[in-house]
């Protein structure tokens, strides 16, 4: 069994708690001084940094939310001046405006540690050739995996996503041994490799897959088609990016990097911390992050935490694969999508009146499909085909620019979108993504 940083990954639980307490006290004090929103929320609760003496006091601290990032867009929640921020990443918010996060040099270093631990846990080291087929750019996937692979001294192939033929040629020619991408893209690559009869020519031994929900059936299908062992990695840009938690060879839950993040499970309705092992909303506090730290950030992911020691020797708590969300966020081709974003586009097109709509998500050939049915209204309708096609095209291109995703738009007859109790069902997800 090999560890990238055994001193942390296998630290006794009491020590982890001590370290967390020490770092939490530091972070709370620092954020109170530097982040106006946090100080304001503390003041409202009548709390001062001195009240927070360790992890036991964590439940007293105020929550933070995705909406905060929108309200303080772009830099309002950073705890370092911009001269110390060396990188930003962004993802879509619940509506048109994106959310921005920032990293100091030290943050990037610790993020690289997170992903390095994942690659080690998947049996990788400096001898490996890591093909990173997550998208590079504002999305944290590509550069996140890249940083970890470089940190361990592996040979990195910064492929980014797309261009399947080139992905496969590279995989064969360069002799890639570890693949990092979304699970649905891994499924797709697996099929393409087999169709091309190249299964014997690839040398993959491990795959690190995340950024979207997937099932155990998908894991087996990927492992069979690419001849590798598939690992689940979890993350979100508000906390860090991929590598917040990582799977070991036991493939039985993802170890949370507890020297950097404190995980809690709460009742999403009451905000109360739930007893150990119970399922609820996952909440993270970043205790080492400098650029964009958060206290008790509501991930909206539903899962449970397992504190039993893992057979791999790691003592970090394991979270199971999220079984759902407490909000209506969808993950389509690895991209976070909120129905409210689609509604916003339609509101604009309908000149203030949102036409009735329905979002249908499916999976064809291992690729997510997004169809948006929009009921025709008198204000959208015109006597000529060209005008209607123009509206259809405008909706499609507005959706593409807001979501960063291609959607098929269909104008349908009024009152054809099924309603229950007078309310239209807005989202139909036919993918069966949870076990």
CA 231 to chain centroid, in Å, comes to 15
Candidate residues 15, 199, 415, 419; the one interacting with another protein per rule CB under 8 A: 415
Residue closer to another protein, measured from CB, 172 or 388: 388
Tell whether residue 414 is a contact of another protein (CB under 8 A). Answer: yes
Candidate residues 43, 48, 267, 381; the one interacting with another protein per rule CB under 8 A: 381
Tell whether residue 389 is a contact of another protein (CB under 8 A). Answer: yes
Q: Closest by alpha carbon to 102, among 335, 298, 297, 290?
A: 290
Residue closer to another protein, measured from CB, 367 or 379: 379
Please check whether residue 54 is in contact with residue 102, taking contact to mean a CB–CB distance below 8 angstroms. Answer: no
Tell whether residue 272 is a contact of another protein (CB under 8 A). Answer: no
d(Cα 64, Cα 264) in Å, to the nearest integer?
Answer: 13
Residue closer to another protein, measured from CB, 153 or 414: 414
Residue closer to another protein, measured from CB, 178 or 380: 380
Tell whether residue 411 is a contact of another protein (CB under 8 A). Answer: yes
Tell whether residue 378 is a contact of another protein (CB under 8 A). Answer: yes
Segment near another protein (CB under 8 A), from 171-179, 334-342, 358-366, 384-392? Answer: 384-392
Residue closer to another protein, measured from CB, 419 or 425: 419
d(Cα 89, Cα 76) in Å, to the nearest integer?
Answer: 15
Please check whether residue 25 is in contact with residue 56, taking contact to mean a CB–CB distance below 8 angstroms. Answer: no
Residue closer to another protein, measured from CB, 57 or 392: 392
Which DSSP helix (H) or strand (E) runs through 261? Answer: strand 261-266
d(Cα 217, Cα 229) in Å, to the nearest integer?
Answer: 13
b/e sequence 267-306, b meaning 16+ C-beta within 10 Å: ebeeeeebeeeebbbbbbbbbbbbbbbbbbbbbbbbbbbb
Q: In sequence order, what are the beta bridge partners of 282?
A: 265
Segment near another protein (CB under 8 A), from 148-156, 269-277, 305-313, 411-419? Answer: 411-419
Candidate residues 410, 419, 425, 434; the one interacting with another protein per rule CB under 8 A: 410
Structure tokens at 142: 């590509």
Residue closer to another protein, measured from CB, 249 or 377: 377
Q: Are strands 129-132 and 178-181 parallel, antiparallel or unpaired?
A: parallel
Is residue 311 reached through a cis peptide bond, with omega within 30 degrees of 0 on the bond before it? no
Residue closer to another protein, measured from CB, 11 or 380: 380
d(Cα 105, Cα 87) in Å, to the nearest integer?
Answer: 8
Tell whether residue 376 is a contact of another protein (CB under 8 A). Answer: yes
Candidate residues 87, 377, 405, 424; the one interacting with another protein per rule CB under 8 A: 377
Residue closer to another protein, measured from CB, 83 or 386: 386
How far apart are CB 395 and another protein at their closest, in Å?
Answer: 12
Please check whether residue 367 is in contact with residue 335, taking contact to mean a CB–CB distance below 8 angstroms. Answer: no
Tell me the site size for another protein, rule CB under 8 A. Answer: 18
DSSP-derived secondary structure for 180-224 = EE-HHHHHHHHHHHHHTT-GGG----EEEEESS---HHHHHHHHH
How far apart are CB 394 and another protein at their closest, in Å?
Answer: 15
Q: Closest by alpha carbon to 403, among 355, 344, 356, 335?
A: 335
Candidate residues 384, 420, 422, 430; the one interacting with another protein per rule CB under 8 A: 384
How far apart are CB 49 and another protein at their closest, in Å?
Answer: 60
How far apart are CB 396 and another protein at their closest, in Å?
Answer: 12
Tell whether residue 420 is a contact of another protein (CB under 8 A). Answer: no
Q: Where does this chain bind another protein (CB under 8 A)?
A: 376-378, 381-385, 388-389, 392, 410-416
């Amino acid at each position: 069994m090999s560890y990238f940083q055994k001193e942390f990954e296998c630290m006794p639980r009491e020590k982890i708690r001590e370290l967390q307490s020490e770092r939490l006290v530091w972070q709370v004090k620092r954020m109170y001084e530097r982040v106006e929103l946090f100080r304001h929320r503390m003041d409202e609760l009548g709390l001062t940094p001195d009240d927070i003496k360790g992890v036991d006091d964590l439940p007293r601290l105020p929550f933070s939310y995705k909406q905060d990032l929108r309200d303080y867009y772009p830099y309002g929640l950073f705890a370092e001046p911009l001269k110390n921020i060396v990188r930003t990443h962004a993802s879509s918010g619940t509506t048109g405006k994106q959310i921005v996060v920032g990293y100091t040099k030290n943050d990037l270093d610790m993020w690289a540690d997170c992903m390095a631990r994942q690659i080690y846990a998947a049996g990788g080291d400096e001898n490996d050739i890591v093909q990173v087929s997550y998208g590079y750019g504002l999305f944290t996937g590509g550069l996140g995996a890249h940083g970890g692979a470089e940190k361990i001294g592996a040979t990195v192939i910064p492929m980014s996503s797309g261009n399947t033929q080139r992905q496969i040629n590279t995989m064969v020619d360069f002799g890639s041994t570890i693949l990092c991408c979304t699970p649905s893209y891994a499924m797709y690559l697996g099929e393409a490799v087999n169709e091309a009869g190249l299964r014997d020519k690839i040398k993959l031994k491990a795959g690190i897959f995340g950024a979207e929900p997937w099932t155990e059936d998908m894991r087996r299908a990927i492992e069979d088609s690419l001849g590798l062992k598939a690992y689940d990695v979890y993350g979100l840009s508000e906390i860090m990016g991929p590598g917040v938690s990582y799977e070991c060879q036991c493939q039985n839950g993802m170890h949370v990097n507890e020297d950097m993040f404190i995980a809690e499970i709460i009742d999403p309705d009451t905000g109360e911390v739930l007893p150990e092992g119970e399922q609820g909303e996952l909440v993270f506090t970043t205790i080492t992050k400098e650029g964009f730290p958060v206290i008790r950030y509501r991930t909206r992911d539903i899962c449970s935490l397992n504190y039993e020691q893992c057979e791999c020797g790691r003592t970090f708590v394991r979270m199971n694969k999220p079984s759902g969300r407490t909000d209506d966020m969808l993950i389509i081709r690895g991209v976070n999508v909120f129905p409210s974003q689609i509604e916003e586009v339609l509101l604009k097109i309908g000149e203030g009146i949102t036409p009735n709509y329905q979002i249908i998500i499916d999976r064809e050939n291992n690729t997510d499909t997004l169809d948006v049915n929009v009921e025709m209204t008198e204000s959208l309708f015109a006597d000529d085909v060209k005008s209607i096609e123009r509206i259809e095209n405008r909706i499609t291109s507005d959706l593409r620019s807001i979501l960063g995703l291609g959607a098929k738009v269909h104008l349908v007859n009024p009152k054809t979108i099924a309603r229950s109790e007078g309310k239209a069902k807005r989202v139909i997800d036919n993918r069966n993504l949870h076990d």
